[in-house]
Structure 1
Amino acid sequence: MKKLLMLLLVAALSASVAQADAKSGQKVYLKTLKAKFGMNGTRFAAEHTVSEWEDLFDNNAAGFIKEYSARFPSAAGVLTNPEMKDRLQEVGDFAKEYGSDSGNVPSCG
C-alpha cells in the first residue's frame, strides 16, 4: 500500500511539473515566437502530432530550429540564440502537450 501511494504521489508531481513546463513554454511562444511565426499558439501546436514534436525537439531542438528557421527566416536569429536553448525546451513541452493528436487545446487562441 505504501509503495502504491508513493507511486501515485510521484505520478502526480510529474504531471504537475510537465504542465508547468507547458505553461512556461506557452508564455515563451506567445512572447517571443508568435510574431515571428505569424500564428497563434493553438495553430502552432496543431502543426504536428505529439510524436512529431518529440522528434523535432530531440537533440536540443535541432529539428525544430532547422525546420522553423527555413520556414521563417526572420526567426532564425531568435531560434539559434544560445540564451533560447532552455526556453526552446519549454516551447517543446508546450507543443507536445497540445500537439494535434493530444486531445488538448491551449487557451492562447
Structure 2
Amino acid sequence: MNKLLSILLVAALSASVASADAKAGQKAYLKTLKAKFNMNGTKFAADHTVAEWEELFANGAKGFIKEYSEKYPASAAVLSSPDMADKLQDVGDFAKEYGSDSGNVPSCG
C-alpha cells in the first residue's frame, strides 16, 4: 500500500512540474514570440504534432530556431538571443503539451 501511494505521489508531483514548464512557456510565448509570429498561442501549438515539437526542440531547439527564423525572418534575432535560450525549453514544453495531436487546448489567445 505504501509503495502504491509513493508511486502516485511521485506521478502527481511530476505532472505538476511538467505543467509549470508549460505555463512558463505559454507566458514566454505570449510575451516574446506572439507578435513576431503573428499568431496566438493556440494556433502556434497546433502548428505541429507532439512528436514534431519534440524533434524541433531537441539539441537546444536548433530545429525550432531554424524553421521559425526562416518562416518569420523578423524573429531570427530574438530566437537566437542568449536571453531567449533559457526560455526556449519552456516554450517547447508549452508546444508539446498542446501539440495538434495532444488533445489539449491552451487557455490563451
Q: What range describes the TM-score normalised by the shorter chain of this pair? A: over 0.9
Aligned residues: 109
Match of 1:66 in 2: 66
CA distance in 2, matches of 1:55, 1:102: 15
Give the CA deviation at 1:86: 1.6
Residue in structure 2 matched with residue 11 of structure 1 by the alignment: 11
Q: What one-letter code is carried by the residue in structure 1 that aligns with 2:15?
A: A
Paired letter, 1:77: A
Counterparts of 1:107 and 1:83 in 2: how far apart (Å)? 25
Residue 48 of structure 1 corresponds to which residue in structure 2?
48
Identity %, equivalent residues: 76
Q: Which residue of 2 aligns with 1:36?
A: 36
Unaligned runs of 5+ in 2: none
Q: 1:2 offset after TM fit, Å?
A: 1.5
Q: Deviations over 1:46-88 (max 9, x none)?
A: 0000000000000010100000000111000000001111200
RMSD: 0.6
**TM-score after normalising by structure 2:** 0.98
CA distance in structure 2 between the partners assigned to 1:4 and 1:30 by the alignment: 39
Q: What residue identity is the alignment partner of 1:44?
A: F
